[in-house]
Amino acid sequence: MKKIGLTTTVPVEVLLAAGYKPIDLNNLFITSKDYSKYIDIAERDGFPKSLCAWIKGIYGACIENDIKEIVGVMEGDCSNTKVLIDVLKLRGIKVYPFSFSHSHKIQDVENEINKFMNVFGVEIEDVENVRKRLSRVRNLSKEIDKLTYIDNKANGFENHLYQVSLSDFNGDVDNFEDELKNVISNIRKRKPDEKKIRLGYIGVPPMTGDLYEFVEMFDAKFVYNEVQREFAFPRCDKAINIYEQYYDYTYPYDIDFRILELKKQIIERKLDGIIHYTQAFCHKAVEDIVLKQKLDIPILNIEGDKINILDARTKLRLEAFLDMLSDLKGGLI
């Protein structure tokens, strides 16, 4: 199978139907033991220091891993993707554009996916067959989610990891399905580990993976990972076709549509507070203003940049926030 890089979640069903092996360049970048080399590659090639580390990491991962074709999301994701695409084209990489229409009309979603299918020469029947296959794997991720916020057996990082990986199924659907089954089997054997403070994580997946372990030091736990859960398409079984599935995907559309789902999850998961992660130099950081106005729950905004561990200042802010939440629930951590 030919490899094809992704700048974010796209209709991967189309790519699999066309015989491609999708690789999420974000995951390739951040899971590398030497992730910083990808940023260095981008900066050596002229990317400015005052640019989102994710964009530079995606570029470096694409170049270093010899990815010759990518799907670039031109609307509905990072505003810097367009210029990233221009540079990748200069490097001889073939780019297939895709857009999540800001209008968020089902007809516009259908038109974009139809164009995507035409580019890759696949029919809707083939795509729907793949979608049914992927739905079985996505249902396994829903099980891990339930083991997190209902059974209190899976931890926040596991919840993050096994949902965010569904953007590309780790490049191998069958192997990833087997991995999920084994993970679920092992998690089920654990005793429940209920924490006093139930947290939600919203915003793009973090550069700082140690965030999950850090909060657990203070009798707290993430029981909701917003965007990671959306990457896993938890409502795909309710969609009658691929068009409805991607219409119901909250991440790329307007913030009011996203907030509707956030409000549901705050209630269902009995959240005490939310950590809103934003990336330095990202326009999405401004969304924090809207979220704090429209969500009736304590929210702490933290910002990441190049480093993949929490800095001392952020740890102090997190500790103070968790202490406040504990006081609100009655008693000290």
Each of the 333 residues of the chain gets a pLDDT tens digit; together they read: 899 999 889 999 999 999 999 999 999 998 888 889 999 999 999 999 888 888 999 999 999 998 999 998 877 567 678 889 899 999 999 999 999 988 889 999 999 999 999 999 999 999 999 999 999 999 999 999 999 999 999 999 999 999 999 999 999 999 999 999 999 999 999 999 999 999 999 998 898 889 999 999 999 999 999 999 999 999 999 999 999 999 999 988 889 999 999 999 999 999 999 999 988 777 776 788 889 999 999 999 999 888 888 999 999 999 999 999 999 987 544
Measure the CA–CA gap between 181 and 178, rounded to whole angstroms: 5
Q: Please answer whether residues 243 and 66 qualify as being in contact, where contact means their C-beta atoms are separated by less than 8 angstroms.
A: no
Measure the CA–CA gap between 137 and 9, rounded to whole angstroms: 16
Taking domain 2-120, whether its CATH number is 3.40.50.11890 is answered by yes
Give the model's pLDDT for residue 234: 95
Domains 2-120 and 153-329 share a fold: yes
Measure the CA–CA gap between 44 and 118, rounded to whole angstroms: 37
Give the model's pLDDT for residue 333: 46
Measure the CA–CA gap between 117 and 18, rounded to whole angstroms: 9
The enclosing H or E element of 301 equals strand 299-304
Give the model's pLDDT for residue 73: 86
Q: Please answer whether residues 69 and 4 qualify as being in contact, where contact means their C-beta atoms are separated by less than 8 angstroms.
A: yes
Measure the CA–CA gap between 13 and 124, rounded to whole angstroms: 10
Torsion-angle region of 98 (φ positive above 0: left; ψ -120 to 50: alpha; else: beta): beta
Give the model's pLDDT for residue 77: 66
- Architecture per CATH, domain 153-329, reads as 3-Layer(aba) Sandwich (3.40)
CA dihedral 117, 14, 136, 108 (to 10 degrees): -50
- 180's CB contacts (< 8 A; 6+ apart) are 137, 140, 141, 144, 162
Query: For the chain, what are the domain ranges?
Result: 2-120, 153-329
Integer angstrom CA distances of residue 189 from 142, 183, 184, 208: 17, 10, 9, 28
Nearest to 52 by CA among 312, 304, 251: 304
